[in-house]
Chain A
Amino acid sequence: MTTATASKSNGRKRAPARKQDAQATKEPTAAIEHPTATVLIIGAGFAGLGAAIRLQQQGVRDIVILERAEEVGGTWRDNQYPGAACDIPSNLYSFSFAQNPDWSRSFSGSREILAYIQGMVKQFNLRQYIRFGKNVSDMAWDDQSGTWKATTDAGEVFSGRTAVMAQGPLSNASFPAISGLEDYQGHKIHSARWDHDYDFKGKKVAVIGTGASAIQIIPELVKEARHLTVFQRTPAWVMPRPDFETPDWNKSLFRKLPMSQSALRKALYLIHESMALAVIWNSPLTRLAERIGRWHLRTQVKDRWLRRQLMPDYRIGCKRILVSNDYYPALQQPNCKLITWPIDRLSAQGVRTVEGVEHQFDCIVFATGFDVSNAGTPFPVRGLEGRLLGETWQRGAQAYKSINVAGYPNLFFTFGPNSGPGHNSALVYMESQIDYIVQSVRAIQSLGLKALDVREQVQADYNRDIQQRLAKTNWNSGCKSWYLTKDGFNATMYPGFATQYANQMKELVLKDYRLIKAD
Chain B
Amino acid sequence: MASIDLDKMLEKIKNTQWTLSDVDWDAPGAEMITEEQWPKLKAFMADLMWIEHVGARAFAAMAKKAPNDTLKEIYTYFHAEEQRHANAEMALMKRWGMLEDNELPEPNNNLRLVIEWLDRFADDQPVYVLGTVVPMLEIALDGALCKFLLDTVKDPVCHQAFDLINADEARHLGVGFSVMEMQGHGKTYMQLVRMAAQLMDPRLILGIASYFPLLNKMRDNIVEMGLPEEKLYEAMKKFEKIGGRTEDGRRNPWFQIIKQHGRVVIDRRNRFYHKPIDALVKVADLIPRKAFPAVPSWVREITYRPTA
Contact = CB atoms under 8 A, between A and B. Distances in A.
A357 B81 contact: no
Contacts of B17: 344-345, 352, 354
Contacts of B76: 342
A371 interface: no
A349 B87 CA distance: 20
A356 B20 contact: yes
A360 B297 contact: no
A313 interface: yes
A187 B308 CA distance: 18
Given A303-B297, A306-B297, A352 B19 contact: yes
A313 B64 contact: yes
Interface stretch (B204-212, B260-268, B298-306): B298-306
Contacts of B19: 344, 352, 356-358
A355 B308 contact: no
Nearest to B302: A355
Given A342-B76, A352-B19, A357 B305 contact: yes
Interface string B21-34: 10000000000000
B77 A355 contact: no
A26 interface: no
Interface string B109-123: 000000000010001
B64 A341 contact: no
A358 B296 contact: no
A354 B308 contact: no
A305 B87 contact: no
A359 interface: yes
Nearest to B80: A354
Main secondary structure of the interface of A (DSSP, over half): mixed
Contacts, number: 64
B102 interface: no
A506 interface: no
Contacts of A350: 307
A304 interface: yes
Interface in A323-357: 341-342, 344-345, 349-350, 352-357
Nearest to B61: A308
Contacts of A306: 297
Nearest to B72: A313
A480 B72 CA distance: 13
A497 B305 CA distance: 53
B308 A305 contact: no
Contacts of B64: 313
B305 A305 contact: no
Given A344-B17, A359-B307, A354 B298 contact: no
Contact of B81 (A304, A354, A360): A354
B217 interface: no
Given A308-B123, A313-B64, A358 B21 contact: yes
Interface string B268-308: 00000000000000000000000000001110010101111
Interface in B72-130: 73, 76-77, 80-81, 83-84, 87-88, 119, 123
Given A304-B296, A305-B298, A358-B306, A341 B80 contact: yes
A313 to B, nearest CB: 6
A331 to B, nearest CB: 13
A113 B305 CA distance: 46
Contacts of A308: 123
Contacts of B21: 358
Contacts of A356: 18-20, 83-84, 87-88, 306
6 contacts: A342-B76, A354-B80, A356-B83, A356-B87, A357-B303, A357-B308
Given A345-B17, A355-B83, A357-B20, 17 more contacts: A303-B297, A304-B297, A305-B296, A305-B298, A341-B83, A344-B14, A344-B17, A349-B307, A352-B19, A354-B80, A355-B81, A355-B84, A355-B87, A356-B87, A357-B307, A358-B21, A358-B307
Interface of B: 14, 17-21, 64, 69, 73, 76-77, 80-81, 83-84, 87-88, 119, 123, 296-298, 301, 303, 305-308
